[in-house]
Structure 1
Amino acid sequence: MKATLFVDGVGYAAPGLRTAVALQEHFDGAPFEVEETWTAMPACLARRQALRLSDTTRLAIMAAEAVGPLLPRDCSWIFASSTGEGGTLNEILLALRADPIMIQPLRFQNAVHNAAQGNWSIAAGAKGGMTSVAAYDATAGAGLLKATMQALMDDCPVGLVVFDAPLPPPLHEKRPLELSMAAAFALSPQRGENSLAALDLDVVADETATDPSLSGAHRSLTDSGNPVRFLLPLLRQIFWPKGETVTLDLPGKLALTVTPLSVGDA
């Protein structure tokens, strides 16, 4: 499969790097410190409404709202997360151990893997299709592949959000993610007036994924264990396209190669 998509916008959210602009400045040498007490707080939600949602869902929405205005309301969205609502799941599991068992119905509603995209569709008034993707450490590649297929099939722009947040104990011991991170992309099969870069994509066999440390990002990002870290080299290439190929793992013995190009070279 070979395809070309255009990146019309990017979003990013992490403790200490709250926007794609902050991430770009960090790539360019600006230091940053992880904000230990940081809580994702989307601008599109009232604070009281936001606090009813989990940290993971707020993180995803915060990234999504950065690219939402660049996309039509009826476009499709892909939300990719390796763990989904781990925090809410943990609360339910702890409640099941208690006597008596007391679980708020809202917990079940927010425990599903597609909770983030459901809440985003309400907040944004989005009317297009919503797809939820999970593929463990290959989640970033699987999400981008699904977004590519959706954009080509619909011949329409698509939104992609890749996100994960640390799990509470004891789940953290089984899946240690040290840092919350979310990245979002406004992708289109057609070049736009303000497109940032073009992406040449291909599915290949037996390729080694690009080491995220090659992005030059701070070690707290690349050593976080968060699958979103595999997108850091791609994000840097989108900011400064040089035609260097980034390889993302896919499930099985496949990989997705992505070569960002300047729009004029596409």
Structure 2
Amino acid sequence: MNININKHITTIAAIISLFVFTSCEKEIDVDLKSAEPKLVIEGLVTADSLAKVKLTMSKNFISDNTFDPVLGALVSVSDNTGNSEILQMSDDGMYRSKNLKGVPGRTYNLKVTVEGQEYTASSAMSPHTVKIDSITMYPIPLFKYAFPMIHFQDPKGSKNYYRELLYINGKRKKLDEDATDTDDREGFYMSRIVPAYKENGSTEDPIKKGDTITIEHQLLDKGAYTFFETLGRISSSLTNPTSNIKGGALGYFSAYTYDRQTIIADWTE
């Protein structure tokens, strides 16, 4: 499943298309002003799943929103226990591993070589999965519908970084990028509203009673969190999202654990 999110902003970069690999796939299209094309790297390793990496070139503001894969790249992913694999390109343009899967607690390293230029990134997968305790629906006076709210226990001992994905009736909800850290709430029992706003030009409430609501609760490392946190506020900062990739490419590399929970939407008016 591919869900597009469009953010139109003025920066020094070009259009980039970024997507998050979960058990489904989601695309984030970021429309930026004209600039020289740059390599966009989008890669991740999730617990018990094969590594995936997508390579595209950024495009100009006036170009169509199609993104051709970069062919002929050398892409490899390794971990801190000595496992390593060269990823093969599949029919959909994705570079995928055949054997290397995410294991909680390991650190993963990405190396991409395109036309002699090398790009590298590293991401540490937490040894823990932070489980969702429950999901409730939270009415907000200004809206005619309720927002999902997740409840979970933040582990003690370290600052943690979270991101939520929202699915409504199996479809990834648009325009709802949300990442946060525990800051001074480390070890607290936490409740977080997951934003669900109307899509541009739509008069239809995004959530109705009886809808199937699924939330994916991700535990990120700091580098991936910084990318998604800055992605969420680029319209005000007028800069590109902060990438954790070295070598001058746009994008991100993320290894994370996650939990999912599903409810049927209902609330008291």
TM-score normalized by the length of structure 2: 0.26
Structure (1 or 2) with the greater helix fraction: 1
Structure ranking higher on relative contact order (CA contacts 8 Å, 6+ apart)? 1
Query: Larger C-alpha radius of gyration, 1 or 2?
Result: 2
Structure (1/2) with the larger strand percentage = 2
